[in-house]
């Protein structure tokens, strides 16, 4: 059974940093591209970044609201993909989810096969 479990979400002060983790089981992480997405209340799901397993390029959002503040990394041995957030702003509040795809690594969430339940991030002022 494939499972992606996100953790690390919490309340974080404006301008602070947060480290989110996505732990994968039931698949070999080396065979999958892993993306991070977020969804704010009342908004569509938004792609942040994707780390490739090597067959396709990795991808990072070029949104001015994301670029330069989020870093994705993977540890295949630990079956974990990390999203490091820095200089958080109010609009970073939302549910953050990771997803796995064998063939795709980009912003289109419908292209991902497996999803985690998400972890809540709240930016406090």
**How do residues 18-76 score in pLDDT, each as one tens digit?**
999 999 999 999 999 999 999 998 999 999 999 999 888 888 888 888 889 999 999 99
Q: Give the whole-angstrom CA distance, residue 68 versus residue 50.
A: 14
pLDDT at 38: 97
Coil vs helix vs strand at 68: coil
* Tokens representing residue 113 in the block: 């096969």
Residue 8 has phi, psi (to 5 degrees) of: 105, -10
| Dihedral sign of CA atoms 110, 114, 117, 119 in order | negative
For 91-118, what is each residue's pLDDT tens digit? 999 999 999 999 999 999 999 999 999 9
DSSP type of residue 85: E
Residue with tokens 């702003």: 89
pLDDT at 13: 97
| Dihedral sign of CA atoms 108, 110, 116, 119 in order | positive
Closest of 91, 80, 96 to residue 10, by C-alpha: 96
pLDDT at 17: 98
Residue with tokens 């503040």: 69
pLDDT above 90 for 125: no
């Amino acid at each position: 059974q494939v499972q992606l479990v996100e953790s690390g979400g919490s309340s974080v002060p404006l301008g602070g940093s947060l480290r989110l983790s996505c732990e994968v089981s039931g698949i070999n992480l080396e065979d999958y591209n892993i993306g991070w997405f977020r969804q704010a209340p009342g908004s569509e799901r938004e792609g942040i970044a994707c780390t490739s397993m090597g067959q396709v390029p990795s991808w990072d959002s070029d949104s001015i609201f994301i670029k330069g503040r989020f870093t994705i990394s993977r540890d295949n041995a630990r079956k974990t993909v990390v999203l490091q957030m820095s200089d958080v702003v109010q609009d970073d509040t939302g549910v953050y989810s990771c997803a796995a795809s064998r063939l795709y690594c980009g912003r289109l969430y419908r292209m991902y096969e497996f999803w985690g339940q998400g972890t809540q991030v709240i930016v406090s002022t």
